[in-house]
A and B are shown apart, each in its own frame.
Chain A
Amino acid sequence: MEKHAMININNLSFSYGKLKVFENFHLDVPEGEVCLITGINGVGKSTLMRLIAGVLRPAGGEILFDEKMGPDHRRKIGFISDILSLYESLTVAQSIEFHKSVYNLDKFDDSLIRHTKISDNQKIKELSTGQKTIFHLSLILSTEPEILLIDEIIHSIDAYLRRIFLEQLIQIQSERQLTIIMVNLNFHDIEHIVERVILLKAGKIAVDEQIDDLKAKVKKIISSITPQAVPVLSQIDFSDHSEFYVYPYEEKVKGKIDGEVVDLNLTEIVSAFIGGEYA
């Protein structure tokens, strides 16, 4: 059964002054999907997250949310941006109180921050980037969001806390069908939770694939001659051979390729696409 769209973006247009970032942009994100948005720097990944979160206003088009989000969808969206926007002059305890009062929460879920060395009396500005990230994520998870938007920030958390956070995220996602959109440039940690990969190019979706399909379609061919049977995304030349990243690869062309076909992980796949952008 096909899942209904939790986020439905129609004809979205947005620009910074004369610089058009999106024009007639469309995207549907089904409920419970974990989606990765990637692309070269400046392509509009963070802008798209901010538009979904409502901190940027579209110039045209609409961003619709599922009815279960209620009249004020922002109550059900958890957004953590790449700039870690919080009131720096407040203490941890004051920030928690502030957040609880805005969301009318009775309790604060401290399961994430109790693993850290954050104390209630510390000011937000005194926390490290990783601590701020974990704290902000804790604030967001306390509100039990339906949609979680995480913008390129997970890498700032140390390996131990990152593992704890991702474990918690997987647990919440499986329990509550949380819809997650991530923007990331470091894919190693999140590879096992991502279901769909979207690559943005010049304000449009260049690639939109389920991760398993993508892994089947993007391959590395080690050869001394350029493969003719499949389109080459990018290539790296060595003295005696070249590595060709190809997409879309099909099993039926395997016999026509003179070289070794190698499977790729998500980091390598995204690098291949981004490498193609810069080529």
Chain B
Amino acid sequence: MLKKEFSDAFKKFIECMILLLGIPLGVLFDRFIIHYGWRLSDIFHYVFLVSIIVYPPVAGLTIFQSEKKDRAFEYLFSLPLSRFKILLYKIGPRFFFLLLLIIASNFFSIFDNISINGLNLIVVFFISTFLSISVNSSVIGVVGAFFFYAGYYQASRIIHLIFIGWDPAKFNNFSTGALLSELLTAALFLIPIGTAFWITFKKFDVKPLKWQLKSYLYIVVPTVLVFYTFIILSFKNFTELSG
């Protein structure tokens, strides 16, 4: 099974990396049509950034794509594989390619000022993975993943601000405090969503989806509401402080 999942993950990886073909196209476009004088490194910078940002949600949201498309859940669940093993085989290869991308981005950052927050990519990947089972529409999946990530991102900044005593002057995205805030927010956000995902997946069967999403209703929805309430209340507080 691992071989199949590696193959599926590799296909998704290649699909996302096809965006890199935009680099020579961009050069040709500039050279023959618009003559803006773009440098190869400028084009590489933006196209590589986009391709790196696209991979985590695509890899996460499509983790059960072949089962959904081929109606192969029935086959998969009839196999003598524990749910934990299935998940491990599904997540492992996709996470491996994500790590490759993060390593590549760190490598390119030596030559270019590409700054990729690997932790954020990992958070997006897990948000998308945890949402994958609960949505059938890719549009809703992408919007949901973006909405959840926005909540995580804002909350991590606010937690960082709380740590530094609401002093915007001390705010530094690259500080240890910022990293710790991100890690704490990631844990606070991903643990409940991951728990809902695991509870659902552990009992998941071939019944229609709408009868299997209670955990999402009782865990994920309150978590997101708490996060956004926290963001709204804190921003009010922040505005008052800075005002």
Contacts and interface: CB of A to CB of B under 8 A. Distances in A.
B81 to A, nearest CB: 6
A91 B80 CA distance: 21
Interface stretch (A96-104, A157-165, A200-208): A96-104
A97 B203 contact: no
Interface residues of B, number: 24
Contacts of A101: 1-3
A102 B70 CA distance: 19
A23 B116 CA distance: 55
Given A85-B73, A86-B72, A53 B78 contact: yes
Nearest to B210: A17
21 contacts: A16-B208, A16-B211, A17-B210, A17-B211, A50-B205, A55-B78, A56-B205, A56-B206, A74-B80, A75-B80, A77-B78, A81-B74, A83-B71, A85-B71, A85-B73, A87-B66, A87-B70, A98-B4, A101-B1, A102-B79, A103-B79
B203 A57 contact: yes
Nearest to A76: B80
Contacts of B203: 57
Interface residues of A, number: 28
Contacts of B4: 87, 90, 94, 98
B207 interface: yes
A89 B211 contact: no
A150 B211 CA distance: 26
Contacts of A77: 78
A90 B66 CA distance: 10
B205 A55 contact: yes
Contact of A87 (B2, B75, B208): B75
A67 interface: no
Nearest to B65: A89
Contact of B3 (A17, A50, A97, A125): A97
A125 B72 CA distance: 12
A85 B72 CA distance: 5
Main secondary structure of the interface of B (DSSP, over half): helix
A240 interface: no
B66 A74 contact: no
B69 interface: yes
Nearest to B81: A102
B81 A89 contact: no
Interface in A207-260: none
Interface string B57-85: 00000000010011111110111110000
Contact of B206 (A50, A86, A88): A50
Nearest to A53: B78
B205 A85 contact: no
Nearest to A104: B80
Contacts of B2: 101
Contacts of B81: 102
A117 B79 CA distance: 27
A134 to B, nearest CB: 16
Contacts of B69: 88
Contacts of A55: 73-74, 77-78, 205-206
A88 B77 contact: no
Nearest to A51: B205
Contacts of A276: none
A157 B3 CA distance: 31
B1 A102 contact: yes
B168 to A, nearest CB: 52
B206 A54 contact: no
A103 B3 contact: no
A79 interface: yes
A106 interface: no
A125 B71 CA distance: 12
Nearest to A58: B205
Contacts of A87: 4, 66, 70, 72, 75
